[in-house]
A and B are shown apart, each in its own frame.
Chain A
Amino acid sequence: MKNKTIDPKQIKGWGIDADPKNDPTYPMRDRMNVGEDPDNKHRPTLQPTHQVEKLRSIERPNISAVYGTTVPPKGLSGMIRRAAFKYSENRYRHWLPLVVADRVSVVEGVVDDLMHGHVPNIYAEKGYPVEWKHNRTAFITKMATIALATAGVVALLSSGKSKKKSKKKDYLSRY
Chain B
Amino acid sequence: MLAMEYRGPKRVRAVQKPMPEIKHPQDAIVRVLRTCICGSDLHLYNGNVPDTRVGSTFGHEFVGEVVEVGSEVTKVKTGDRVLVPFNIACGECHFCRQGMFGNCHESNTEATAVGAIFGYSHTAGGFDGGQAEYARVPYANVGPTVIPADMDLDDAVLLTDVVPTGYQAAEMAGIQTGDTVVVFGAGPIGIMAARCAWLFGAGRVIIIDQEDYRLEFARNYSYCEAYNFKEMNDPVVFIKKITDWMGADCVIDAVGAEAAGNTMQTITGRKLLLQAGSATALHWAINSVKKGGVVSIVGVYGPTDNLVPIGNVLNKGLTIRANQASVKRLLPRLIDHVQNGIINPKGLITHRLPLEEVADGYRMFSAKLDNCIKTVLLPPTANQ
Contact B88 A66 (CB under 8 A): yes
Asked whether A17 and B51 contact (CB < 8 A) given A66-B90, A66-B107, the answer is: no
Contact B174 A24 (CB under 8 A): yes
Q: Is B244 an interface residue (CB 8 A)?
A: no
Q: Is B232 an interface residue (CB 8 A)?
A: no
Q: Is B346 an interface residue (CB 8 A)?
A: no
Asked whether A126 and B323 contact (CB < 8 A) given A1-B216, A18-B200, A25-B174, the answer is: no
Which of B92, B125, B139, B363 has most chain A Cβ within 10 Å? B363
Binds A, one of B94-102, B149-157, B259-267: B94-102
Q: How far is the CA of A26 from the CA of B171 in the complex (A)?
A: 7
Contact A57 B112 (CB under 8 A): yes
Q: Is A172 an interface residue (CB 8 A)?
A: no
Contact B367 A55 (CB under 8 A): no
In the complex, what residues of A have CB within 8 A of residue B12's CB? 125, 127
Contact A127 B199 (CB under 8 A): no
Q: How far is the CA of A27 from the CA of B171 in the complex (A)?
A: 10
As a 0/1 sequence over residues 17 to 35 of chain A, the CB contacts with chain B under 8 angstroms (1 = contact) are 1111011111110111010
Q: How far is the CA of A92 from the CA of B274 in the complex (A)?
A: 11
In the complex, what residues of B have CB within 8 A of residue A42's CB? 92-93
Q: How far is the CA of A89 from the CA of B231 in the complex (A)?
A: 40
Asked whether A130 and B112 contact (CB < 8 A) given A64-B107, A109-B54, the answer is: no
As a 0/1 sequence over residues 332 to 343 of chain B, the CB contacts with chain A under 8 angstroms (1 = contact) are 010001001111
In the complex, what residues of B have CB within 8 A of residue A18's CB? 175-177, 199-201
Which of B50, B204, B337 has most chain A Cβ within 10 Å? B50
Asked whether A106 and B122 contact (CB < 8 A) given A16-B199, A28-B321, the answer is: no
Contact B98 A31 (CB under 8 A): yes
As a 0/1 sequence over residues 198 to 220 of chain B, the CB contacts with chain A under 8 angstroms (1 = contact) are 11111110000000000010010
Chain A residues 125 to 152 lying within 8 A of chain B, measured CB to CB, are: 125-131, 134-135
Q: How far is the CA of A161 from the CA of B107 in the complex (A)?
A: 54
* CB-contact partner of B97 in A19, A37, A81, under 8 A: A37
Q: Is B87 an interface residue (CB 8 A)?
A: no
Q: Is A117 an interface residue (CB 8 A)?
A: no
Contact B360 A120 (CB under 8 A): no
Q: Is A43 an interface residue (CB 8 A)?
A: yes
Contact A125 B7 (CB under 8 A): yes
Q: Is A65 an interface residue (CB 8 A)?
A: yes
Contact A92 B369 (CB under 8 A): no
Q: How far apart are B257's CB and chain A's nearest CB, in angstroms? A: 13
Q: How far is the CA of A71 from the CA of B116 in the complex (A)?
A: 16
Which of A14, A19, A31, A71 has most chain B Cβ within 10 Å? A71
Chain A residues 75 to 95 lying within 8 A of chain B, measured CB to CB, are: 77, 81, 85, 89, 92, 95
Contact A122 B139 (CB under 8 A): no
Q: Is B126 an interface residue (CB 8 A)?
A: yes
Binds A, one of B18-26, B59-67, B184-192: B18-26
Interface of A is mostly: loop
Contact A3 B225 (CB under 8 A): yes
Contact B202 A8 (CB under 8 A): yes
Asked whether A127 and B363 contact (CB < 8 A) given A66-B107, A68-B126, A70-B56, the answer is: yes
Q: How far apart are A111's CB and chain B's nearest CB, in angstroms? A: 11
Chain B residues 86 to 140 lying within 8 A of chain A, measured CB to CB, are: 88, 90-94, 97-100, 103, 105-113, 116, 122-123, 125-128, 138-139
Q: Is B8 an interface residue (CB 8 A)?
A: yes
Q: How far is the CA of A87 from the CA of B72 in the complex (A)?
A: 36
In the complex, what residues of A have CB within 8 A of residue B105's CB? 60, 64
- A residues lining the B interface (CB < 8 Å): 1, 3-4, 6, 8, 11-20, 22-28, 30-32, 34, 37, 39-40, 42-45, 47-48, 51, 54-57, 59-60, 63-71, 77, 81, 85, 89, 92, 95, 98-99, 101-103, 105-106, 108-109, 120-122, 124-131, 134-135
Contacts A37-B97, A67-B109 given; 7 further ones with Cβ under 8 A? A13-B342, A17-B200, A30-B98, A43-B92, A44-B91, A63-B109, A85-B110
Give me 15 A-to-B residue pairs in the complex whose CB atoms sit less than 8 angstroms apart, sorted by A's number: A16-B199, A26-B329, A27-B100, A27-B323, A55-B122, A56-B110, A65-B90, A67-B109, A71-B54, A89-B112, A105-B53, A105-B54, A109-B54, A126-B359, A127-B10
